[in-house]
Amino acid sequence: MVALQLGLPPVHTARWSHTVRLAVTAVVLWPVFGSGPPLSADTSGAPSANVLQATTSQAARQSAIQSIPIEKLDPQARAKVRSVLSDIAVFRRLPVRVIDCDPHLYLFLVRNPDVVVNIWEVLKVSSLQLRQVRAGKYRVAESAGTLATVEFLYGSHDTHVIYAEGSYDGPLFARPIKGRCLMVLRSGYVREPNGRYYITTRLDTFISVDHGGAELLTKTFHPLVGKTADLNFVQTVAFLGSLSRTAEVNSRGVQRLASKLSHVAPEARLELAELAADIAQKTTASADRETASSPQVASRGGTAGRD
Give the pLDDT confidence of 134-170 residue by residue, as tens digits: 999 999 887 666 788 999 999 999 889 999 988 766 6
Of 105, 95, 110, 87, nearest to 34 by C-alpha is 95
- Closest-CA residue to 151 (of 161, 143, 141, 19): 161
Q: How far apart are the first and last CA of the chain?
A: 48
Please give the average per-residue pLDDT across 186-209, as a whole number. 89
pLDDT score of 37: 31
For residue 266, what pLDDT is reported? 97
- The pLDDT score that the predictor gives to residue 31 is 32
Reported as type and span, the H/E element at residue 142 is strand 137-142
Residue 190 contacts residue 197 (beta carbons within 8 Å): yes
For residue range 77-115, list pLDDT tens digits in order.
999 999 999 998 889 888 888 999 999 999 999 999 999
> Are the C-beta atoms of 112 and 99 separated by less than 8 Å?
no
Domain ranges of the chain: 16-239
φ, ψ at 87 (rounded to 5°)? -150, 65
For residue 123, give Cα distances in angstroms to 108, 148, 207, 243, 244: 20, 23, 31, 13, 17
pLDDT given for residue 42 in this prediction: 44
**Cβ pair 247, 258 in contact under 8 A:** no
Q: Which residue has the higher pLDDT, 223 or 220?
A: 223
Asked if the model's pLDDT at residue 284 lies above 50, the reply is yes
The pLDDT value recorded for residue 223 is: 61
Element (H, E) at 92: strand 90-93
Least confident of 11-15, 165-169, 286-290: 11-15
User: Residue 243: enclosing H or E segment and its boundaries?
Assistant: helix 222-249
Higher pLDDT, 99 or 50: 99
